[in-house]
Amino acid sequence: MYRAIRVPPERGEEMKERAKAGNFLDSTRKIRKIQTDGGIFLEIPLTETTGEKVGDFPVIEQEKPELLEKPKFLKEYLKGSFSEAEMEQLPSGWHVLGDIIIVSIPETLDDKKDLIANALLTMYPKCKSVVRDLGIEGQFRQPKRELLVGATTETIHKEHGCLFKQDVTKVMYSKGNLDERKRMSKLGQGELVVDMFAGIGYFSIPMAVHARPKKIFSIEINPESFAYLRENIRLNRVEDIITPVLGDCSEVTPEGVADRVLMGYVGITHHYLEPGIKALKKSGGILHYHETVPENLAGTRPEERVRKAAGTLGKKVEVLGTRRIKKYSPGVLHVVLDARIFE
């Protein structure tokens, strides 16, 4: 039995990403566009492990599935060009943003990095560039990356019905935060929202496109990220909702206006808790506070920091929940604490 869900075209990207995230997208079959009496639909192929429904869509038995040629492993493309020891050091994973492949290559394979890059382009013919990831640096957590093959490092990545234009050598985009971006896209309807550390619009854009808040003030200090934030606001046609603000959150965050505040940065976010809490209305509001924290402290430290900052301002805290976003590094988690702040 070939299982699939049939979805409207405008839900296709969202449901494909959901199937990917849940590890039940069948990558051996094509996503088909079909015409029925009810209109045009996409059929997204699913594995046998899927339940009876995915979101709002029942799982069906797909007729006449279109099979894809089974993708080859990188090692198969490079067989004969690498020694056995080198083959063991080849990257086993990479990620694709828009039409750019981002890959980590060990220093021991420096002299063969171009061979690896060209092999990846052969595997992904729709991509136009391969970029080597060398880590993160600086106050703005900018990526260190090297263009290996191709002419450009700028791309437009589509996710959950939203467009994110970016230069992958200048701004970070974590695919590990996908579920949190989707969650934010369901919150804030009719509210006034302040998005501190907005970046290129990671949370502001999905929220504006899908939840339609009354207003979002999106604050970003990095001029390069800010330029892409403005471009993404235009690309997604949410100029009437998002007001971009260039500056330091400690200086330009408005006070007493927000129903909801997003603090989607990690590392030094706790230093900005007081401006974040002050941004909420006097009557109270919701704070989404992100933190990287040792695994054994994940259940206590974020809450303690929020309570301490709120107490300093004479505010009370009701913790609504703590969510794990992803593993940040060995023994360290990226979590988000949701809390209602009130007097």
Q: Which CATH architecture has domain 74-152?
A: 2-Layer Sandwich (3.30)
- The span from the CA of 238 to the CA of 218, in Å, is 12
Instruction: Work out the end-to-end distance of the chain between its first and last CA atoms, rounded to an integer number of angstroms.
Output: 57
Q: 65 pLDDT exceeds 90?
A: no
Q: What are the residue ranges of CATH 3.30.300.110 in the chain?
A: 74-152
Name the band, by pLDDT with cuts 50, 70 and 90, for residue 115: very high
Q: Which CATH architecture has domain 3-61?
A: 2-Layer Sandwich (3.30)
Q: What global pTM score does this model have?
A: 0.77
Q: Which CATH superfamily is domain 176-342 in?
A: Vaccinia Virus protein VP39 (3.40.50.150)
Q: What are the residue ranges of CATH 3.40.50.150 in the chain?
A: 176-342
pLDDT in tens, 91-111: 988 989 999 999 999 999 999
pLDDT in tens, 283-324: 999 999 999 999 999 999 999 999 999 999 999 999 999 999
- The percent of residues in the chain predicted with pLDDT above 70, rounded, is 97
pLDDT in tens, 252-269: 999 999 999 999 999 899
Mean per-residue pLDDT of the chain: 91
Which residue's entry shows tokens 């001029």? 223
The pLDDT of 193-218, averaged and rounded, is 97
Q: Which neighbouring-strand residues pair with 321?
A: 338
Question: Looking at per-residue confidence, does 76 or 238 come out higher?
Answer: 238
Q: What are the residue ranges of CATH 3.30.70 in the chain?
A: 3-61
Q: 27 pLDDT exceeds 80?
A: no
Strands (E), 278-315: 285-294
